[in-house]
Structure 1
Amino acid sequence: MTDFTSLPDLGSASFAEWGGVPEPGPEPPVYDFPGGSVPGEDVVPVLDESEYFSQANRTSSESAFSYSGNGSEEPSDWQSRPRFSEPDELIRGLNDQQREAVVHDGGPLLIMAGAGSGKTRVLTHRIAYLLATGRATQGQILAITFTNKAAAEMRERVGGLVGRGAEYMWVSTFHSACVRILRREHEAAGLTSSFTIYDAQDAQRLIQMILKSMDVDVKRYSPKMIAAKISDLKNELITPAKYEETCANDPISKIVANTYREYSKRMRESNALDFDDLIMSTVQLLKDKPLIAQQYHRRFRHILVDEYQDTNHAQYVLVRLLVGDGDDGVEPGELTVVGDSDQSIYAFRGATIRNIEQFERDFPGARTILLEQNYRSTQNILSAANAVIARNQGRRPKNLWTASGDGALITLDAADSEHDEARFVVSEVDRLADQGASYGDVAVFYRTNAQSRAIEELLVRQGIPYRVVGGTRFYERKEIKDALAYLQAISNPDDSVAVRRIINVPRRGIGAKAEDAIAVHASRYGISFGQAVRDVWESEGCPPGESEGIEWQYPTLSQSDATSPVNVATSSASPSGESFPSNARDLGTQTHEPSLVEPETPGAIVDNALSAWADVEVRTFEHNQPGAQDANSASSIGNPPSRQLHPSGEQREVLGLSSRARKSIAAFWGLIESARQASEKGVSTADILEEILDKTGYLATLRKSEDPQDASRVENLAELHSVAIDFAQVNPRGTLVDFLERVALVADSDQVPSEDQRSGQVTLMTVHTAKGLEFPIVFVTGMEDGTFPHQRSLGDESELAEERRLAYVAITRARERLYLTRASIRSAWGSPQEMLPSQFLADIPPELCDIRRSSTASERLRSCEEAWGSGWGSGSYSSRTGRALDNDGPVFGSGKAETASRVTGIRTGKTIRMGAQQTSHTMHRSLLDLKVGDRVKHASLGEGTVVGLEGQGKTTVARVNFGETEKRLLLRVAPLEKI
């Protein structure tokens, strides 16, 4: 039985106190299932008389667990069992360790799955095996992973194994699972079911508003920094009240505390949750509502978690709560986690490696199975990865191997500069293509996004098509954020961030003063910004909107289920006769090829309505006839609602607005109200999006622009429209809320095209984004100390260990060919710096490598030998290895890697010649004379206070507190200045 005594005590903090949602009312009734139990569940809850009648009065649509694909209603065959594969068939073809993991029965199971060891196959076969042996039914399985793409792949694979019934299982990401729970339990959580999900940009925008209202200098205390700190607090399940009690008495901590409190308050007013709230709110719900938690314990008898090494503290607690401890009379569920401690690379997002390292301690009686046979890479690639990761201390020993042979040697290339490095990469890609490789087989990785510039420039010059993944994300582009803000305001009028974003977009004469007046009104009456805008609309007589009439298309009520909201994709064009281009398809990535889309191309947006809803009746509501009624509804698009009154009885009047501003605001909100009611009546998200962009003039403004980027923005909006159509086709019962949820939960890695979609383009991405992917040919660039590993990690053992794990991830993405490249000189802030090779390269045995270098690079190394120290130039003597290096000696270093003090930087008194340009740099400097208490400024970490000093001379390390973190910095290289 799991010991819950070590769980963090959230105390008696209410939802309002910890900032998730308002304090809910009485305990809600226990949720039930059609027929009284979970499909296949033998244990039925015992209800007292009041509870029985409470449940008896509920309709089946209120069930906590519906089993249709979109969770809206029960299918007619929910009790029937599909035909599963025979158990013996499911373990045939597995290696011994994989088979052992699939058939495991009993206590908690940790599957330590090395890179490329077939963990997804093990997970899916384990799920199918549980079903085939009768140890579980479909509805009793919850499988959690980290990306929508991985969840979709897992669902597809399981479906192929178990056939009909796979859709009854919950296979999703942590965030999607929490959204599903919170939407179903929204009353108990104090939410409405249409709550908005804020992404990082939305959260930072709200925080910026708060900081400005508090007269905080946003240049000194950036919204991004404050948002990161608040995110860290939520990941640790620390409420605003708790943080105010425990935070340090320094300026930044006080600003964070005040901002966190106000941020949580405004989020509640906006009926919104950010990503961290989704986890934290679900944790609080399960802790505060034991009857609801009990139902999930009964439902989920088998919980499987993928990528467990990437979980943060809040996710760890959530898993334990879902598994249960048996105190509620329900035996704890069987837990299986899959992960690899050597691939834990997301500490900057709050992930903690201790969750996987301490699994056996957290779950007594747990069993661990190692998967070491690799099915992806050649042995040379695996041997290099094993050598790099072996240097990390305290790790569980693991040695990847393959039966597929040694393969090609790893190519190491040392270039003069980042431009020469890019030239090598692009020329090699060109050469491989000439030999028959596809551009889609090639991936180029880099540690930071800034490194891609030089490579992109040369790819463009050579005419090689490529795409950048994880740069400016599709859903973070301004025009997409604007369009989504309109949809968010329609779905949730209380979403203040969305409403404020679009109230004057495109410009409609609502300036900053008018916006401030609305904000003051909202604060005065304790209402949301959207409600305040509605007050203006009502005071102006509820005008219909920014157009004389909108033609909405509704599904006819002759269908079998006319009450369900249905997205109907229909062929339509704007009144001007223009429509979206229909073939802008490169979702989520930057495609650098000649555009195939002409923004002004005429034609229908969608050729045919969905076959299931082909009978479409077009109804036009002329807003200048407010009495026009929907024949099937008592309400009307044009009819004004009742006036909103202050509790004292007087009408709420917004002060400080000009007559023109009032009319513009009222017209804006009239359009929002019209679209909201249309959405509730079943108009498709695609149609609403098209009408909004047309009637507001947003599209017309872009089309009239002479800025070439605006043509691309039109294409991006067309792509968003296509996404809405695709969503409707896959989810015919999906609502606007469902669509916005889907969009909000898209991650960078979900935007990476599948292998069959990337045949014509080289893929560029950071190593972090590459996690979980594989390519036949991989280039890892920037293999220098200070670049990879990153400068921030030098001198910090834990951060350097994570950088080493990141290098291990990068290496193991390659299937057949691996290139590791570096530059002797790299520009930073306009100044060239001489770079030492990455210490990770010295770990790779020379016999695995094919070492290349240009003659200029060799000459540079010889000329810089004195400045760089020994062990580098041709014919020099290596103090690292104690042996002579001939002219073909390793450019990248050999033998044991030096410690973290071997860092990047410009060396003493050397003049770096870059063509005709000559710049003199003197890195050698006297050490900063610091003492405890001194204030210092770091180039990237900002201002901090020295709290300790260790060592002496060149080995002096300063411990510096930067407010939100404490770092150990080697003084002779750290970019510090005393202030």
Structure 2
Amino acid sequence: MNSLLQDLNDEQRLAVTRTDGPLLILAGAGSGKTRTITYKIAYLIGQGICRPENVLAVTFTNKAAEEMRGRVERLLETLESPPLVSTFHSFSVRVLRRHAGLLGYGSDFAICDEDDQKSLLKQVYDELKLQDNLVPIKRTRAVISRAKNQGCSPESYLEGSADPDAPIISSAFKVYQRRLKEANGMDFDDLILLTVQLLSEHDKVRERYASTYKYLLIDEYQDTNLPQFELVKHLASVHGNISAVGDEDQSIYRFRGADINNILRFERDFPGAVVVKLEQNYRSTQTILDAATGLVSHNLKRKGKKLWTAGGKGESIDVFPAESPEAEADFVSRSIYQFQKDSKDRIAVLYRTNFLSRQLEDALRRLQIAYRLLGGVSFYSRKEVKDALAYLRAVRNPNDDISLARIINEPARGIGKTTLDRLWEEARQKHHSLWQTIKEALTSQALPGRAHLALEKFVSLIEVSAPVLESPLDQALRGVLQASGYIQALEKQETEEANERLLNLEELVTAAAEHVQQGLGMTDFLDNAALYSDTDEYDQNASVLLMTLHNAKGLEFPVVFIIGCEEGLLPHSLSVEADDLEEERRLCYVGLTRAQKKIYLTFSKRKRFNRGDVYENSKPSRFLAELPQHLLRDLSARSFQPARAGSGIAPSKTYNTPDSVRHFLEKKKAAPGGFVKGALVQHNDFGRGRVLDVQESGEDLKITVQFPGIGIKKLLQRYAKLKLV
């Protein structure tokens, strides 16, 4: 066991050997967090401090739990029975299977997945006579999940919500919970909530588990939500030996309910707690660490760490300001091409939102650079993109059965499966296309009234949209999507996922505009899109990986590019409040600390806006200004050659400041009243929000605003009386 401790640095050793009482281990990026946790478990058991069955280690993913379990077993080769290493959800299931009867459930309760939830909510909507087109089921499901992660019941959610749809959602929430229990079912959020309820209401059950698990180790503590925190408190209520491991600077899941305050107030929640900081980094150069620390030090909600490495200073951080998104993608792809001539190192390209991958994917394909998308789907394989392309194909050629079948009920039009199956069978028998069969059925009045009306509207949509194809390709695509109701259906959902899909469709319109500028037509566009979507993940063995900043957490790469370092992208345009901006800064910090040797930060000076041939200026991210400027090197005068090792050059400019951002927004062309895209506004009921779009509507203004926690609202200014912030 002494040899085991020799593998650790001083701080890790202190964290491992401090066994009694509450302990907060602040583990900086790349500081050996997993090693510290697993060595502590091995130390507790190997030293005879406790038996394996008295240890409970909890983390967030099955993969992390399996890795931790495997490491412990390798450290303790003679282990007869392993300690319990589990996720929060798996542990909750284990407890509930034994005691669900105390809460009125059977021990054979079903765990409902996302599809089950949607199906059940559809039944709830039918019972309450709610309309999906007014308050979409997807939105209701997301709100219910968010409420549960905050420990809210239907009643407390309604009481604390400013959402005008809250009464509807609350009533659906209440019936949903009733139906779940009647079906002896629990969704994933219920698993933890009901375990907390069980331990709160039944003292003997709580004492049994709190007594059994003398030592608790909680991984990624910064990502815990309120119910998870309450579960941990109950489990630590007897012995109080809890070791929480986490990094407040890597708390990036607020949108999932994570509460950074859990780690910030640990000493208050667990009196007598000792704090150990793991600050030695085993991943990155000192330049990278200093840059990341300099950035995140602008946050107020942090406990503070000073990361250091024995690995040397390393290269400067290169910043490339591109003239356009195409130039940005070209720089990144050509830089990667040059890197791959000399090295087999893995390269990661990180971005805030998925739509940013499209132009980069195109550029990599042109240079025949193999890449892989991690945790996502390639741009042309995304559902909404394939739906949009299918609309174009179907309007151009209604006899294209594959495309027509894809979009006939996207969005939902009330054309049932029975009706479609009947039409398909008739089409097969007559060797006709589905389109031809539909028109014949309408002519012969062969369908029931409701199905007849729905199909009649669909046929009219396709036929009326045909003349739109005479417009330039990008305008045609936008027109078809608007006419179909597809855009409007996504806007009504008012969820993060729907907003991401809308951004992807906007990017597809941009791609169409690029084809127009290159003199290419619709056939070229559709053919290229089909070829691009032929492979979902271009090459599983590729050394170039593309992913969002969120998906990069926990990973490391020798070379990292962070693209789209612009206001509105990073930080995201929907990040309005101070807490949102701090989380965006932490997200950038996570991106920086993925790099082992080299970082490139890129941005575009202008972006395409609305139509593909219209540009608006963009502003470098404020985070570039917050980085220590002496660590940056400006690549303005360069084209695509990556930097040579050891060629640190002082930057020629400061990229951005909060004042320059405000000046930039003020210079943009404003609608009457000063309302512009990106401006902050205040609403009496919804609070503070960010303007997404402004349109003149007669003598009034139609303003689209994103309100955090509420969603996207379209408002007429004469009624809304929005005020600029």
Matched, 1:842 2:587: no
Superposed CA deviations along residues 689-717 of structure 1, whole A, max 9, x for unmatched, are xxxxxxxxxxxxxxxxxxx99xx99x99x
Name the aligned partner's letter for residue 229 of structure 1: V
Equivalent-residue separation in structure 1 for 2:593 and 2:151 (angstroms): 34
Q: Map residues 713-724 of structure 1 onto 2, 5 A cutoff.
A: none
What residue in structure 2 maps to residue 770 of structure 1?
Answer: 552
Q: Map residues 633-712 of structure 1 onto 2, 5 A cutoff.
A: none
Name the aligned partner's letter for residue 130 of structure 2: V
Bigger RCO (CA 8 Å, 6+ sep):
2
Matched, 1:789 2:571: yes
Q: Map residues 881-896 of structure 1 onto 2, 5 A cutoff.
A: 890=652, 893=655
What residue in structure 2 maps to residue 368 of structure 1?
Answer: 275
Equivalent-residue separation in structure 1 for 2:217 and 2:555 (angstroms): 21
Shift of residue 819 of structure 1?
A: 1.0
Preserved CA contact (<8 Å) 1:446 1:766: yes
Preserved CA contact (<8 Å) 2:619 2:661: no
- TM-score, with length taken from structure 1: 0.52
Shift of residue 510 of structure 1?
A: 13
CA separation of 1:109 and 1:166: change in aligned 2, threshold 3 A? farther
Q: Runs of 5+ in structure 1 lacking a partner?
A: 1-85, 325-330, 479-502, 512-707, 717-751, 858-886, 909-921, 944-958
Equivalent-residue separation in structure 2 for 1:191 and 1:219 (angstroms): 34
Q: Map residues 543-558 of structure 1 onto 2, 5 A cutoff.
A: none
Preserved CA contact (<8 Å) 2:686 2:707: no
Superposed CA deviations along residues 861-892 of structure 1, whole A, max 9, x for unmatched, are xxxxxxxxxxxxxxxxxxxxxxxxxx995355
What residue in structure 1 maps to residue 216 of structure 2?
Answer: 303
CA separation of 1:261 and 1:323: change in aligned 2, threshold 3 A? same
What residue in structure 2 maps to residue 345 of structure 1?
Answer: 252
Shift of residue 292 of structure 1?
A: 2.1
Equivalent-residue separation in structure 1 for 2:339 and 2:49 (angstroms): 51
What residue in structure 1 maps to residue 317 of structure 2?
Answer: 410
Equivalent-residue separation in structure 2 for 1:935 and 1:122 (angstroms): 45
Equivalent-residue separation in structure 1 for 2:315 and 2:172 (angstroms): 55
Which of 582, 585, 596 does residue 804 from structure 1 map onto?
585
What residue in structure 2 maps to residue 898 of structure 1?
Answer: 658
Shift of residue 204 of structure 1?
A: 3.9
Q: Map residues 595-614 of structure 1 onto 2, 5 A cutoff.
A: none
Equivalent-residue separation in structure 1 for 2:688 and 2:217 (angstroms): 46
Equivalent-residue separation in structure 1 for 2:301 and 2:618 (angstroms): 30
Equivalent-residue separation in structure 2 for 1:799 and 1:510 (angstroms): 50
SS in 2 for 1:175: helix
Range moving further from structure 2, 837-846 or 807-816? 837-846
Equivalent-residue separation in structure 1 for 2:664 and 2:122 (angstroms): 36
CA separation of 1:201 and 1:818: change in aligned 2, threshold 3 A? farther
Equivalent-residue separation in structure 1 for 2:216 and 2:547 (angstroms): 32
Q: Map residues 42-81 of structure 1 onto 2, 5 A cutoff.
A: none
Q: Map residues 416-815 of structure 1 onto 2, 5 A cutoff.
A: 416-438=323-345, 441-472=346-377, 759-794=541-576, 796-815=577-596
Name the aligned partner's letter for residue 339 of structure 1: G
Q: Map residues 238-387 of structure 1 onto 2, 5 A cutoff.
A: 238-243=152-157, 246=159, 251-324=164-237, 331-387=238-294
Superposed CA deviations along residues 233-256 of structure 1, whole A, max 9, x for unmatched, are 212222234445x35697412111
CA separation of 1:898 and 1:283: change in aligned 2, threshold 3 A? same
CA separation of 1:291 and 1:786: change in aligned 2, threshold 3 A? same
- Could you say what the CA RMSD is over the residues aligned between the two structures, in angstroms? 4.0
Q: Which has the higher helix share?
A: 2
Preserved CA contact (<8 Å) 2:690 2:707: no
Shift of residue 354 of structure 1?
A: 0.7
Shift of residue 148 of structure 1?
A: 1.6
SS in 1 for 2:165: helix
What residue in structure 1 maps to residue 674 of structure 2?
Answer: 927
Shift of residue 388 of structure 1?
A: 0.4
CA separation of 1:811 and 1:924: change in aligned 2, threshold 3 A? farther
Equivalent-residue separation in structure 1 for 2:721 and 2:16 (angstroms): 51
Matched, 1:853 2:636: yes
Shift of residue 200 of structure 1?
A: 3.8
Name the aligned partner's letter for residue 374 of structure 1: N
Superposed CA deviations along residues 108-160 of structure 1, whole A, max 9, x for unmatched, are 00001111111111111111110111111111111111122211111111111
Preserved CA contact (<8 Å) 1:827 1:833: yes
Range moving further from structure 2, 820-829 or 159-168? 159-168
What residue in structure 2 maps to residue 593 of structure 1?
Answer: none
Equivalent-residue separation in structure 2 for 1:961 and 1:850 (angstroms): 37
Preserved CA contact (<8 Å) 1:192 1:271: yes
Q: Runs of 5+ in structure 2 lacking a partner?
A: 384-415, 425-528, 641-648, 695-704
Preserved CA contact (<8 Å) 1:151 1:172: yes
CA separation of 1:249 and 1:278: change in aligned 2, threshold 3 A? same
Superposed CA deviations along residues 726-772 of structure 1, whole A, max 9, x for unmatched, are xxxxxxxxxxxxxxxxxxxxxxxxxx99xxx9652421111111111
Shift of residue 781 of structure 1?
A: 0.7
Preserved CA contact (<8 Å) 1:148 1:173: yes
What residue in structure 2 maps to residue 388 of structure 1?
Answer: 295
Equivalent-residue separation in structure 2 for 1:389 and 1:829 (angstroms): 34
What residue in structure 1 maps to residue 406 of structure 2?
Answer: none
Preserved CA contact (<8 Å) 1:109 1:366: yes
Name the aligned partner's letter for residue 204 of structure 2: L
CA separation of 1:301 and 1:208: change in aligned 2, threshold 3 A? same
CA separation of 1:234 and 1:761: change in aligned 2, threshold 3 A? same
What residue in structure 1 maps to residue 79 of structure 2?
Answer: 165
Equivalent-residue separation in structure 2 for 1:454 and 1:924 (angstroms): 31
Equivalent-residue separation in structure 2 for 1:780 and 1:249 (angstroms): 36
Equivalent-residue separation in structure 1 for 2:605 and 2:179 (angstroms): 51
Q: Map residues 938-957 of structure 1 onto 2, 5 A cutoff.
A: none
What residue in structure 2 maps to residue 210 of structure 1?
Answer: 124
Equivalent-residue separation in structure 2 for 1:508 and 1:931 (angstroms): 51
Name the aligned partner's letter for residue 590 of structure 2: V
Shift of residue 387 of structure 1?
A: 0.8
CA separation of 1:846 and 1:109: change in aligned 2, threshold 3 A? same
Preserved CA contact (<8 Å) 2:333 2:360: yes
Equivalent-residue separation in structure 1 for 2:356 and 2:709 (angstroms): 29
CA separation of 1:838 and 1:167: change in aligned 2, threshold 3 A? farther
Equivalent-residue separation in structure 2 for 1:451 and 1:166 (angstroms): 50
Preserved CA contact (<8 Å) 2:318 2:634: yes
SS in 2 for 1:304: strand
Name the aligned partner's letter for residue 49 of structure 2: R
Shift of residue 263 of structure 1?
A: 1.2
Matched, 1:117 2:31: yes
Name the aligned partner's letter for residue 288 of structure 1: E
Superposed CA deviations along residues 247-292 of structure 1, whole A, max 9, x for unmatched, are 5697412111101011112222333322211111111122223222
Preserved CA contact (<8 Å) 2:632 2:651: no
Shift of residue 406 of structure 1?
A: 1.0
Preserved CA contact (<8 Å) 1:110 1:367: yes
Preserved CA contact (<8 Å) 1:108 1:367: yes
CA separation of 1:940 and 1:222: change in aligned 2, threshold 3 A? farther
Q: Map residues 84-103 of structure 1 onto 2, 5 A cutoff.
A: 86=1, 88-103=2-17
